[in-house]
Amino acid sequence: MNINIKTDLWNYLAASDRPIVMYGMGNGADKIIAVCEKYGVTISDFFASDGFVRGHSFHGKTVISYSAMKEKYEGQAPIVLLSFASSLPEVMELFKRVGDECELYAPDVPVFGDTLFTIEFFEANRERFEAVYKMLADEESRRIYKNVICYKLTGDIKYLWESESNKRDVYENLLDCKNIHSYLDLGAYNGDTVREMLFYNPALKKAIALEPDARNFKKLTEYASGAKIELKCINAGAWCDNTTLLFDASGNRNAGIVSRGNIVSKIKEVPVLTVDSVLEGGSVDYIKYDVEGSEREALLGSAKTINKYAPKLLVSLYHRSEDMFVLPELIKELCPNYSLYLRRFPYIPAWDLNLYAI
């Protein structure tokens, strides 16, 4: 794989004597600040895009505009840390503009779990990364895999610009979606991914959609009531057993299963089901696993289905730092005959990174 990066973003920031400023606020910023504090890195200021500053403060500092930040630190070469995510083209253009004018990084912090993608983490697991790299079925997958690792280590978004895929090509060519007639959507949100599948694949006949969040499930059922296919909605999460678990019910799209004792603003118990029990021994053409950090457990709960029918799979590969080797290894263990492909749709940070098993 030939990755020769010797340090990571966090150590680079800790060694710098230049001002470090943060672009954006919110939960993402809080996670980055926590890591910066661990490495002894001080954030000098927070700023927002011109036109979005309303005089509010964040972590005890008044949020300034981008123009005001550039004026304040003129001649000091500040390092800018991007602290929010987006896939919107107009917002991505803003990121490019800031990156052209400043030294900009988008630190990689895990959506779930506490394992940072540091140089120590990478070196400790290099053999497993190398093994997955060799598992991947085409050069495009290997190119994306390498670029995403380089991004996660350095925070340099140039690696993300160089690892984007075309969604239509994935549906029509990689998945050959015209031959997908039944679909199991794990983490169906409000029905957006069912709608997307139908957009690219009018041949879809039926789908089962699991969504644990009550508000999202209500929107999902509203969509299902007018859907032109047979669409069964289940208010549950996907797991390795049929049981009840605690769920982050704060309304965040990235909300997921939480461990007992974790501090979350709003928690409720939700049912979780295995894919094997949902399908009751039947087959399905395609399963999407986007279950907010519970992909490993959901795959384990699909073992019988995968072993017997080998449906096409999409497995999100970006929620936990370990996902990039743990999940490919598990899929190959469940069904060695799968060919594995990696594709990533435009997003900063490295979200919407998906492993396809075919």
Check: CATH 3.30.830.10 for 167-357?
Answer: no
pLDDT in tens, the chain (358 residues): 899 999 999 999 999 999 999 999 999 999 999 999 999 999 999 999 988 877 789 999 999 999 999 999 999 999 999 999 999 999 999 999 999 999 999 999 999 999 999 999 999 999 999 999 999 999 999 999 999 999 999 999 999 999 999 999 999 999 999 999 999 999 999 999 999 999 999 999 999 999 999 999 999 999 999 998 999 999 999 999 999 998 876 655 555 566 544 445 567 899 999 999 999 999 999 999 999 999 999 999 999 999 999 999 999 999 999 999 999 999 999 999 999 999 999 999 999 999 999 9
**Are 58 and 25 spatial neighbours (Cβ–Cβ below 8 Å)?**
yes
CATH code, residues 6-107: 3.40.50.720
Task: Give the integer Cα–Cα distance in Å for 176 and 191.
Answer: 21
Residue carrying the six token digits 């954006």: 24
**Domain locations in the chain as residue ranges:** 6-107, 167-357
- Neighbouring CB atoms inside 10 A of 185's CB total 27
Which of 309, 310, 315 has its CA nearest to residue 328?
315
**What's the gap between Cα 120 and its chain centre?**
22
345, 352 contact by CB (below 8 A): yes
Q: How far is residue 208's CA from residue 311's CA, in Å, rounded to a whole number?
A: 14
* pTM, entire model: 0.93
Domains 6-107 and 167-357 in one fold = yes
**E strand segments, the chain:** 20-23, 45-48, 57-58, 61-62, 64-65, 79-82, 103-105, 182-186, 206-210, 230-234, 237-238, 243-248, 267-273, 286-289, 312-316, 340-344, 353-357
